[in-house]
Structure 1
Amino acid sequence: MSEKRTAMDMVWWILLIAWSLTILFPLVWVLYESLKTNREFFQDVWALPETLKWVNYKNAWLKYGVRDAMWNTLYYVGTTLLLGTFLTTINAYALTRIEFKGRKLLWAIIMLSLFLPGINALIPQYVLMRDLHLTNSLTGLIILDSFGENVFYLMLLGGFMRSLPTELEESAFMDGASLFQVFLRIMLPLSAPGIVTVAIFKFLGLYNNFLGPFIYLSDQTKYTIGVSMYAASQKMQYTSDWVTLFAGVMIAMIPSAIMFVIFQRGVMEGATLGGVKG
């Protein structure tokens, strides 16, 4: 039996390594392509660069507007992350820890929205944003993404809060604490792992968001990093400066890669804690 388990373990290891290579290979390829000259790139896309052209990263940072796009992305993602996570935390607390009439019906309506494709709301949202004069504005995009609640994040954090014991809340109420004090001083610290998990998912979703900024932003100086890289790729049919574009792609991947490396353990722990009954 042990030999069979060992053989099966080896099979799984081989499969996992092969799967990892399929993910890592494109990243490594883009990396060494970004360190070539355009002449080397067009001569042989598989050959290694003769000398490392780090100047491509400087050109991408300045020439293709990666610097300005990063500042726009920092403002958009940072503000939306803080406001949106706070609103998600309040909503999850209200729907899981406060008893009020119609709560089950409200949850049912929220769950029903999971079966509705989000693309259906695209036109009504755009008409509303246009009438409120919030198009072509990073602040308008922040308002849209902050107040537009994501059901997945609400379910994740709500499931985590539901697993927490109620004795601490009851004791605080008996001592005269208000509802907001209980939320701020008890539920927020206890829910920190779940909140961090939701915040990380929100960050990755916002940073990689392309459709929203692409639709609502028409001014190139307001582009986020995703839209900026798309606009740069459209210029390749006229400039063919692919190595600089690859350098910009590598720069764009750095923030999300750092977030994943630092917080991957927290994501896994936070995602599983919500399913454990306290």
Structure 2
Amino acid sequence: MKQKNGFADYSWRLLMALWAIGILFPLLWIVFESLKTNREFFADIWSIPEKLKWVNYANAWTLLGVKQSMFNTLYYIGLSLLIGMFFTTVNAYALTRLDFRGRKLIWAMIMLSLFLPGINALVPQYVLMRSFSLTNSLTGLVILDSLGESALYLMLLGGFMASLPKEVEESAYVDGASLFKVFYKIIVPLSIPGIVTVAIFKFMGLYNNFLGPLIYLSDPRKYTIGLNIYYLNILMQYKTNWVTLFASVIITLIPLVFVYVLFQRQIMEGTTIGAVKG
């Protein structure tokens, strides 16, 4: 028998609908404003554009430096994601599938790092980066974010790897497989859902990273997309070309929306499988 929806169900659905509207309405408003002229924007911010000004997006891409900052962001995210995921996968494997002296102590120190505010590390990190002449460098940011392991990502991927059956490795060792071969031939393929999940979370974090580029980058030609939008917002107080700035904001949202739509299922499945089996 089909269960009838009660008052509580309809109330939750209404609440979720209002929440969705609260998120989507500002985005739609920015889209409409990005297609106006500056005259229309200052005349009435709630009016519909008389004619869609797609040229605002071309101007944002070229004149406001969105193109260069987007390429800088892709370089920064691409290398950081590649190197960082390698270290995260290796560390998760070592801490969950291997038995060695001091493993529990290392896990305890990693758990302890969750209680320490990350802002406390800004000063020693900056001093270290400056001593190695890595400030004002995208490569320096890549090194900083690649070698700085996140306890949350390590726990997520480690929990997924810990749920894999030990018998798979044991049979491989019996057949004469080495530790390295077991890792990249067995563990990595079986852990693809968890690796994809962590990679997507890392991508989101790197793409939205603002504090790191703000502290370490001073050359406008090296700005990432978030830092570029921040300085454009300050610049618009003097140039008042807000419609082009709105177009820049929409351009920056496209990669995030694309990743979310493309990998939404992998995120849900990877997180759920790791939680249920672990």
TM over 0.5: yes
Instruction: Tell me the distance in 1 between the aligned counterparts of 2:127 and 2:104.
Output: 31
In structure 2, the residue corresponding to 1:274 is in which secondary structure?
A: helix
Residue-by-residue CA offset, 1:21-67 (whole Å, 9 max, x unaligned)? 00000100000000000111011111111100000001100111000
Q: TM-score, with normalisation over the residues of structure 1?
A: 0.98
Aligned residue runs from structure 1 range 136-147, under 5 A: 136-147=136-147
- Once residues 250 and 276 of structure 1 are traced to their aligned partners in structure 2, the CA distance between those partners, rounded to angstroms, is 37
Structure 2 partner of 1:277: 277
Q: Which residue is equivalent to 1:60?
A: 60
- Counterpart of 2:19? 19
Structure 2 equivalent of residue 256 of structure 1: 256
Q: CA deviation at 1:7?
A: 2.9
1:246 corresponds to which letter in structure 2? F
Deviation at 1:13, TM superposition (A): 1.4
Is the Cα–Cα contact under 8 Å of residues 163 and 275 in structure 1 kept in the other structure? no
The CA deviation at 1:3 is 7.8
Alpha-carbon distance, 1:207 to partner:
0.6
Post-superposition offset of 1:176: 1.1
Match of 2:28 in 1: 28
For 1:71 and 1:277, the matched residues in 2 are separated by 39
What CA distance in whole angstroms lies between the structure 2 residues aligned with 1:144 and 1:163?
30
> What does 1:105-116 correspond to in 2, within 5 Å?
105-116=105-116
Tell me what 2:133 maps to.
133
Q: Residue 130 of structure 1 aligns to which amino acid in structure 2? A: R
Partners of 1:45 and 1:14 lie apart in 2 by: 28
The 1-side partners of 2:181 and 2:242 are apart by 55
Structure-to-structure mapping, 1:98-247, within 5 angstroms: 98-247=98-247
Q: Amino acid of the residue matched to residue 16 of structure 2?
A: L
**Distance in 2 between residues matched to 1:3 and 1:271, nearest whole Å:** 29
Gaps of 5+ in 2: none
1:195 CA displacement:
0.1
Q: Report the residue type matching 2:93 in the other structure.
A: Y
Kept in 2, the 8 Å contact 1:96–1:162? The answer is yes
Q: How does 1:77-96 map onto structure 2 within 5 Å?
A: 77-96=77-96
Question: C-alpha distance in 2, partners of 1:100/1:142?
Answer: 30
Q: Which residue of 1 aligns with 2:265?
A: 265
Structure 1 residue runs without a partner (length 5+): none
**Partner AA of 1:125 in structure 2:** Q
How far off its partner does 1:274 sit?
1.1
Task: Tell me the residue number matched to 2:43.
Answer: 43
Identity of aligned residues (%): 66
Whole-Å Cα distance in 1 between the matches of residues 85 and 48 of structure 2?
A: 44
Provide the C-alpha distance between the structure 1 equivalents of 2:265 and 2:18, rounded to a whole number of angstroms. Answer: 23
Q: 1:277, CA displacement in angstroms? A: 2.7
The farther-off stretch of 6-15 and 128-137 is: 6-15
Q: Which amino acid aligns with 1:116?
A: L
Residues in 2 aligned to 1:66 and 1:102: alpha-carbon distance in whole angstroms: 48
In the TM superposition, what is the alpha-carbon distance from 1:6 to its structure 2 partner?
Answer: 3.3
Q: TM-score by structure 2 length? A: 0.98
Could you tell me how far 1:86 is from its partner in structure 2?
1.1
Give the Å deviation of 1:9: 2.1
Amino acid at match of 2:179: L
Per-residue deviation, 1:255: 0.2
Q: What do the CA deviations read for 1:212-261 (whole angstroms, capped 9, x no partner)? A: 01110111000000001111111111100000000000001100110001
Per-residue Cα deviation, 1:151-191 (whole angstroms, up to 9, x for no partner): 10000000000001010100111111111100000000000
Q: What letter is aligned with 2:69? A: A
Please report how far the alpha carbon of residue 4 of structure 1 lies from its aligned counterpart in structure 2 after TM superposition.
6.7
